[in-house]
Structure 1
Amino acid sequence: MIEYRIEHNPIQVKDLPCRIQRRRVSGWKMPPNTISCCRPGRLGNPFVCESDPQVAVDAFRKLVTQNVGHFEISPGRLQFAKKTHPDTLSPDYGSWLREQAIPKIRTFNLACFCPLERPCHVDVLLELGKKSLIQDGLLIP
Protein backbone atom coordinates (compact mmCIF):
# COMPACT_ATOMS: atom_id res chain seq x y z
CA MET A 1 0.00 0.00 0.00
CA ILE A 2 1.33 3.44 -0.96
CA GLU A 3 0.42 6.53 1.04
CA TYR A 4 -0.02 10.05 -0.32
CA ARG A 5 0.03 12.82 2.23
CA ILE A 6 -2.34 15.71 1.55
CA GLU A 7 -2.12 18.65 3.96
CA HIS A 8 -0.64 16.50 6.74
CA ASN A 9 -3.32 13.82 6.35
CA PRO A 10 -1.93 10.69 4.71
CA ILE A 11 -4.21 9.14 2.12
CA GLN A 12 -3.67 5.52 1.14
CA VAL A 13 -3.89 4.48 -2.50
CA LYS A 14 -3.30 1.11 -4.11
CA ASP A 15 -0.88 2.07 -6.88
CA LEU A 16 1.39 4.79 -8.11
CA PRO A 17 0.62 6.26 -11.54
CA CYS A 18 1.66 3.87 -14.30
CA ARG A 19 2.43 3.72 -18.00
CA ILE A 20 -0.45 3.00 -20.38
CA GLN A 21 0.06 1.83 -23.97
CA ARG A 22 -2.09 3.85 -26.34
CA ARG A 23 -3.71 1.91 -29.15
CA ARG A 24 -4.99 2.75 -32.60
CA VAL A 25 -7.92 0.34 -32.65
CA SER A 26 -11.59 1.04 -32.98
CA GLY A 27 -13.30 1.53 -29.65
CA TRP A 28 -10.14 1.98 -27.56
CA LYS A 29 -10.35 4.93 -25.19
CA MET A 30 -7.72 6.35 -22.95
CA PRO A 31 -8.48 5.44 -19.31
CA PRO A 32 -9.57 8.14 -16.88
CA ASN A 33 -6.81 9.94 -14.99
CA THR A 34 -4.43 9.46 -17.94
CA ILE A 35 -2.42 12.04 -19.90
CA SER A 36 -1.04 11.45 -23.39
CA CYS A 37 2.74 11.85 -23.69
CA CYS A 38 2.91 11.25 -27.44
CA ARG A 39 4.45 13.37 -30.14
CA PRO A 40 3.88 16.07 -31.24
CA GLY A 41 2.78 17.15 -27.75
CA ARG A 42 5.09 18.94 -25.31
CA LEU A 43 5.49 15.76 -23.28
CA GLY A 44 6.55 13.67 -26.28
CA ASN A 45 10.11 12.42 -26.74
CA PRO A 46 11.78 14.49 -29.50
CA PHE A 47 14.23 11.64 -30.17
CA VAL A 48 13.93 8.34 -31.99
CA CYS A 49 16.33 5.45 -32.54
CA GLU A 50 14.88 2.64 -34.60
CA SER A 51 17.69 0.19 -33.82
CA ASP A 52 17.68 0.73 -30.02
CA PRO A 53 14.83 2.57 -28.25
CA GLN A 54 16.93 2.78 -25.08
CA VAL A 55 19.23 5.27 -26.87
CA ALA A 56 16.26 7.63 -27.41
CA VAL A 57 15.12 7.21 -23.79
CA ASP A 58 18.65 7.95 -22.52
CA ALA A 59 18.82 11.08 -24.67
CA PHE A 60 15.45 12.22 -23.30
CA ARG A 61 16.68 11.61 -19.73
CA LYS A 62 19.79 13.75 -20.39
CA LEU A 63 17.70 16.50 -22.00
CA VAL A 64 15.31 16.62 -19.07
CA THR A 65 17.53 16.01 -16.05
CA GLN A 66 20.84 17.53 -17.12
CA ASN A 67 19.71 20.17 -19.64
CA VAL A 68 22.17 18.63 -22.12
CA GLY A 69 21.72 20.38 -25.46
CA HIS A 70 24.33 18.53 -27.54
CA PHE A 71 23.59 15.10 -28.98
CA GLU A 72 25.34 13.02 -31.59
CA ILE A 73 22.69 12.60 -34.28
CA SER A 74 23.37 10.18 -37.14
CA PRO A 75 21.49 7.89 -39.54
CA GLY A 76 20.73 4.53 -37.97
CA ARG A 77 21.36 5.94 -34.50
CA LEU A 78 19.79 8.78 -32.53
CA GLN A 79 17.69 11.15 -34.63
CA PHE A 80 15.17 13.91 -34.07
CA ALA A 81 11.61 12.74 -34.62
CA LYS A 82 9.86 14.16 -37.67
CA LYS A 83 6.86 15.39 -35.70
CA THR A 84 8.02 16.94 -32.47
CA HIS A 85 6.82 19.94 -30.52
CA PRO A 86 9.20 22.88 -31.05
CA ASP A 87 9.34 23.59 -27.30
CA THR A 88 11.05 20.23 -26.68
CA LEU A 89 14.15 21.56 -28.43
CA SER A 90 14.25 24.75 -26.36
CA PRO A 91 17.21 25.21 -23.97
CA ASP A 92 14.66 25.74 -21.17
CA TYR A 93 12.71 22.53 -21.84
CA GLY A 94 14.29 20.51 -19.02
CA SER A 95 13.64 23.26 -16.50
CA TRP A 96 10.06 23.70 -17.70
CA LEU A 97 9.42 19.98 -17.43
CA ARG A 98 10.92 19.62 -13.94
CA GLU A 99 9.48 22.80 -12.44
CA GLN A 100 6.08 23.14 -14.12
CA ALA A 101 4.97 20.00 -15.95
CA ILE A 102 6.03 17.26 -13.52
CA PRO A 103 4.20 18.79 -10.52
CA LYS A 104 1.02 18.89 -12.64
CA ILE A 105 1.21 15.37 -14.13
CA ARG A 106 2.79 13.41 -11.26
CA THR A 107 -0.49 11.88 -10.03
CA PHE A 108 -1.75 10.86 -13.49
CA ASN A 109 -1.15 7.71 -15.50
CA LEU A 110 0.91 8.53 -18.59
CA ALA A 111 0.22 7.10 -22.05
CA CYS A 112 2.43 6.53 -25.09
CA PHE A 113 2.31 4.24 -28.14
CA CYS A 114 5.51 2.39 -27.16
CA PRO A 115 4.99 -1.30 -26.34
CA LEU A 116 5.06 -1.89 -22.58
CA GLU A 117 7.96 -4.35 -22.85
CA ARG A 118 10.21 -1.75 -24.54
CA PRO A 119 11.93 1.26 -22.97
CA CYS A 120 9.91 4.49 -23.19
CA HIS A 121 10.43 8.11 -22.17
CA VAL A 122 7.25 7.84 -20.08
CA ASP A 123 9.26 5.72 -17.62
CA VAL A 124 11.50 8.76 -17.10
CA LEU A 125 8.49 11.03 -16.54
CA LEU A 126 6.97 8.58 -14.04
CA GLU A 127 10.29 8.33 -12.19
CA LEU A 128 10.59 12.12 -11.96
CA GLY A 129 6.96 12.37 -10.82
CA LYS A 130 7.56 9.87 -8.02
CA LYS A 131 10.67 11.79 -6.88
CA SER A 132 8.64 15.00 -6.91
CA LEU A 133 5.93 13.45 -4.72
CA ILE A 134 8.54 12.23 -2.25
CA GLN A 135 10.34 15.61 -2.15
CA ASP A 136 7.06 17.42 -1.46
CA GLY A 137 6.20 14.98 1.34
CA LEU A 138 3.12 13.65 -0.48
CA LEU A 139 4.44 10.13 -0.88
CA ILE A 140 5.78 8.08 1.95
CA PRO A 141 8.44 5.76 0.46
Structure 2
Amino acid sequence: MSPVRIQRRRTKGWRKPEGAVVVTRPSRFGNPFTIKGAIEWGGAETTEQARELCTTAFRQWLRGNRDWWMGDKADATRDRILAGLPELRGRNLACYCPLPEPGQPDHCHAAVLLEMANQEAR
Protein backbone atom coordinates (compact mmCIF):
# COMPACT_ATOMS: atom_id res chain seq x y z
CA MET A 1 0.00 0.00 0.00
CA SER A 2 1.29 3.44 -0.94
CA PRO A 3 1.94 5.95 1.82
CA VAL A 4 -0.72 8.62 2.33
CA ARG A 5 -1.16 11.99 3.97
CA ILE A 6 -3.11 12.02 7.19
CA GLN A 7 -4.85 15.09 8.57
CA ARG A 8 -3.57 15.61 12.06
CA ARG A 9 -6.23 16.66 14.58
CA ARG A 10 -6.30 18.47 17.89
CA THR A 11 -9.47 16.74 19.04
CA LYS A 12 -9.55 14.85 22.32
CA GLY A 13 -8.59 11.23 21.86
CA TRP A 14 -7.06 11.58 18.39
CA ARG A 15 -3.75 9.77 18.09
CA LYS A 16 -1.23 9.71 15.30
CA PRO A 17 -1.38 6.33 13.57
CA GLU A 18 1.54 4.08 14.41
CA GLY A 19 4.44 4.56 12.04
CA ALA A 20 3.22 7.90 10.67
CA VAL A 21 5.63 10.84 10.71
CA VAL A 22 4.46 14.28 11.84
CA VAL A 23 5.69 16.92 9.38
CA THR A 24 4.02 20.02 10.83
CA ARG A 25 5.91 23.30 11.04
CA PRO A 26 7.74 22.69 14.34
CA SER A 27 9.18 19.44 12.95
CA ARG A 28 12.36 19.26 10.90
CA PHE A 29 10.14 18.78 7.82
CA GLY A 30 7.86 21.79 8.38
CA ASN A 31 7.02 24.16 5.54
CA PRO A 32 8.80 27.50 6.08
CA PHE A 33 6.25 29.24 3.81
CA THR A 34 3.20 30.40 5.75
CA ILE A 35 -0.38 31.18 4.77
CA LYS A 36 -0.09 34.48 6.64
CA GLY A 37 3.03 35.36 4.67
CA ALA A 38 1.43 34.49 1.32
CA ILE A 39 -1.51 36.75 2.08
CA GLU A 40 0.60 39.61 3.52
CA TRP A 41 2.89 39.98 0.52
CA GLY A 42 -0.11 39.98 -1.81
CA GLY A 43 0.32 36.67 -3.59
CA ALA A 44 -2.98 35.30 -2.31
CA GLU A 45 -6.34 36.65 -1.20
CA THR A 46 -7.89 33.55 0.37
CA THR A 47 -6.61 30.83 2.66
CA GLU A 48 -6.96 28.24 -0.12
CA GLN A 49 -5.02 30.41 -2.58
CA ALA A 50 -2.36 30.92 0.09
CA ARG A 51 -2.18 27.18 0.80
CA GLU A 52 -1.68 26.49 -2.90
CA LEU A 53 0.98 29.20 -3.16
CA CYS A 54 2.82 27.88 -0.09
CA THR A 55 2.82 24.37 -1.54
CA THR A 56 4.12 25.63 -4.89
CA ALA A 57 6.82 27.68 -3.19
CA PHE A 58 7.84 24.70 -1.03
CA ARG A 59 8.09 22.35 -4.04
CA GLN A 60 10.08 24.80 -6.15
CA TRP A 61 12.33 25.80 -3.25
CA LEU A 62 13.16 22.17 -2.46
CA ARG A 63 14.05 21.68 -6.13
CA GLY A 64 16.58 24.50 -5.85
CA ASN A 65 14.62 27.62 -6.85
CA ARG A 66 16.01 30.40 -4.67
CA ASP A 67 13.42 32.98 -5.78
CA TRP A 68 11.17 32.08 -2.84
CA TRP A 69 13.76 32.10 -0.05
CA MET A 70 17.51 32.48 -0.23
CA GLY A 71 20.53 32.80 1.98
CA ASP A 72 22.49 30.58 4.33
CA LYS A 73 19.53 29.77 6.59
CA ALA A 74 17.34 28.85 3.61
CA ASP A 75 20.04 26.65 2.15
CA ALA A 76 20.70 24.91 5.47
CA THR A 77 16.98 24.31 6.00
CA ARG A 78 16.55 22.91 2.49
CA ASP A 79 19.61 20.65 2.90
CA ARG A 80 18.23 19.34 6.22
CA ILE A 81 14.83 18.52 4.69
CA LEU A 82 16.32 16.88 1.61
CA ALA A 83 18.73 14.83 3.72
CA GLY A 84 15.78 13.54 5.75
CA LEU A 85 13.68 12.40 2.76
CA PRO A 86 14.89 8.77 3.01
CA GLU A 87 13.38 8.64 6.53
CA LEU A 88 9.98 9.47 5.03
CA ARG A 89 10.08 6.88 2.26
CA GLY A 90 7.17 4.47 2.59
CA ARG A 91 5.74 6.25 5.64
CA ASN A 92 2.41 8.02 6.09
CA LEU A 93 2.81 11.73 6.81
CA ALA A 94 0.66 13.78 9.18
CA CYS A 95 -0.06 17.50 8.83
CA TYR A 96 -2.88 19.80 9.94
CA CYS A 97 -3.84 20.87 6.40
CA PRO A 98 -7.31 19.73 5.35
CA LEU A 99 -7.45 16.74 3.03
CA PRO A 100 -8.54 17.50 -0.54
CA GLU A 101 -11.86 16.48 -1.97
CA PRO A 102 -11.65 13.37 -4.16
CA GLY A 103 -10.06 14.22 -7.51
CA GLN A 104 -8.74 17.58 -6.30
CA PRO A 105 -5.05 18.47 -5.93
CA ASP A 106 -3.52 18.24 -2.47
CA HIS A 107 -2.23 21.69 -1.50
CA CYS A 108 -0.13 20.60 1.46
CA HIS A 109 3.62 20.44 1.80
CA ALA A 110 3.23 16.89 3.16
CA ALA A 111 1.97 15.86 -0.29
CA VAL A 112 5.17 17.31 -1.77
CA LEU A 113 7.25 15.40 0.78
CA LEU A 114 5.37 12.17 0.02
CA GLU A 115 5.99 12.63 -3.69
CA MET A 116 9.68 13.47 -3.33
CA ALA A 117 10.51 10.86 -0.69
CA ASN A 118 8.90 8.06 -2.63
CA GLN A 119 10.08 9.25 -6.04
CA GLU A 120 13.69 8.83 -4.98
CA ALA A 121 13.15 5.12 -4.48
CA ARG A 122 12.61 4.67 -8.22
Q: Which TM bucket (shorter chain)?
A: 0.7 to 0.9
* Residue segments in structure 2 that go unaligned for 5+ positions in a row: 40-45, 101-105
Paired residue total: 103
Higher helix share: 2
Query: How far off its partner does 1:28 sit?
Result: 0.4
Asked if 1:109 is matched to 2:98, the reply is no
Does the 8 A contact of 1:64 with 1:93 survive in 2?
no
- Paired position in structure 2 for 1:96: 80
* Residue segments in structure 1 that go unaligned for 5+ positions in a row: 1-14, 73-86, 135-141
TM-score calculated relative to the size of structure 1: 0.66
Higher strand share: 1
Query: How far off its partner does 1:112 sit?
Result: 0.1
Query: How far off its partner does 1:48 sit?
Result: 1.9
- Structure 1 segment 24-43 matched on structure 2, within 5 A: 24-43=10-29
DSSP-derived class of the 2:107 partner: coil
CA distance in 2, matches of 1:38, 1:106: 17
How big is the alpha-carbon RMSD for the aligned residues of Structure 1 and Structure 2?
2.0
- Structure 1 segment 68-87 matched on structure 2, within 5 A: 68-71=65-68
Amino acid at match of 1:132: E
Larger radius of gyration: 1
Query: Which deviates the most, 49-58 or 31-40?
Result: 49-58
TM-score calculated relative to the size of structure 2: 0.75
CA distance in 1, matches of 2:88, 2:32: 19
Q: Deviations over 1:80-101 (max 9, x none)?
A: xxxxxxx9x4313333322x20
